[in-house]
């Protein structure tokens, strides 16, 4: 049996993706240890959820640091104290320095609420509505220095309905995120993901549901 993987999750707010991952890991008995949940904000509601679910929490307050480099250095130290195999960004709303990202190259995942490469950055649901797309969604990807551009692990598509507001569309996407992200993290800890020429290959067992079947309406 493979060794337990150590995971550190970074959050800035609500933490619903973090919670979905913790729930799936417990329900499915993943060979994973959640070493810590770290937030850049002491007010992040997700910290309470993490503590309730028995995961150690830390705060590295971004407001206390004069610039990105000093914050990222402190954050890196806090993360590395837990010696993680994987860093999971779960609604971590910070732009990261290249040095930080390169330190975790190949072992840091992010979820972004759009079908990348469409709609990078913030307010992705507003961007989708303004563009008039019929299909929107979410993407799990490895993090690389170029914002929201790393190798894609998996995506989920949802329809954009005629009466959608930013809120209704966000809720539909978020619901899909809660299925998409746990699966991608599980693939990582099961060592099913490799990056070949900048693209992710997924090695699934022969009887597994193929990734295409995960695209959901």
Active site residues: 112
Torsions phi, psi for 12 (to 5 deg):
-120, -15
**Which of 37, 75, 111, 143 is in the footprint of ligand GAR by CB under 6 A?**
111
Q: Which stretch binds ligand GAR (CB under 6 A): 10-18, 78-86, 194-202, 207-215?
A: 10-18
Residue 120 tokens read as 């990078």
- CB of residue 175 vs ligand GAR: minimum separation in angstroms? 10
With beta carbons less than 8 A apart as the criterion, state whether 136 and 157 touch: yes
The interaxial angle of helices 16-27 and 166-189, nearest 10 deg, is 40
The H or E element spanning position 152 is strand 152-159
Instruction: Considering the complex, state which of residue 52 and residue 208 has its C-beta at the smaller distance from ligand GAR.
Output: 52
Radius of gyration of the chain (CA): 17
* 148 versus 200: smaller Cβ distance to ligand GAR: 148
Is 17 near ligand GAR (CB under 6 A)? yes
Residue pointed to by tokens 């994987």: 86
Around Cβ 135, how many Cβ atoms within 10 Å?
Answer: 13
Backbone conformation region of residue 86, classed left if phi is above 0, alpha if psi is from -120 to 50, else beta? beta
What is the DSSP-derived secondary structure letter of residue 162?
Answer: T
Q: Residues 60, 87, 90, 184: which binds ligand GAR (CB under 6 A)? A: 90
By the rule CB under 6 A, 158 interacts with ligand GAR? no
Residue 177 binding ligand GAR, by CB under 6 A: yes
Least Å from the CB of residue 16 to ligand GAR: 3
CB of 169 to ligand GAR, least distance (A): 11
Q: Which CB atom, from 52 or from 81, has the smaller least distance to ligand GAR? A: 52
In the complex, the smallest distance separating the C-beta of residue 113 from ligand GAR, rounded to whole angstroms, is 4
User: Of the candidates 7, 13, 79, 164, which one interacts with ligand GAR according to CB under 6 A?
Assistant: 13
- Chain length of the chain: 217
Residues 6+ apart with CB under 8 A from 30: 24, 186, 189
Smallest distance, Å, CB 2 to ligand GAR? 27
Footprint of ligand GAR on this chain (CB under 6 A)?
11, 13-17, 46, 90-91, 111-113, 138, 174, 177
């Amino acid at each position: 049996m493979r060794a337990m993987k150590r995971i550190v999750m970074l959050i800035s707010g609500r933490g619903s993706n973090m919670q979905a991952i913790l729930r799936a890991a417990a329900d499915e008995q993943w060979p994973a240890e959640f070493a810590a949940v770290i937030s850049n904000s002491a007010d992040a509601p997700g910290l309470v959820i993490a503590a309730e679910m028995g995961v150690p929490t830390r705060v590295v307050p971004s407001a206390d640091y004069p610039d990105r480099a000093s914050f990222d250095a402190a954050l890196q130290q806090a993360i590395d104290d837990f010696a993680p195999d994987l860093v999971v960004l779960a609604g971590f709303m910070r732009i990261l320095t290249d040095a930080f990202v390169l330190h975790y190259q190949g072992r840091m995942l992010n979820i972004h609420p759009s079908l990348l490469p469409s709609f990078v950055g913030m307010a992705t649901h507003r961007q989708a509505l303004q563009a008039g797309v019929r299909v929107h969604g979410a993407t799990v990807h490895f993090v690389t220095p170029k914002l929201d551009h790393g190798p894609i692990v998996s995506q989920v598509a949802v329809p954009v309905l005629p009466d959608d507001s930013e809120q209704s569309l966000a809720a539909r996407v978020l619901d899909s995120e809660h299925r998409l992200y746990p699966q991608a993290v599980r693939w990582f800890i099961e060592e099913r993901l490799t990056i070949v020429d900048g693209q992710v290959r997924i090695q699934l067992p022969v009887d597994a549901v193929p990734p295409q079947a995960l695209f959901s309406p």
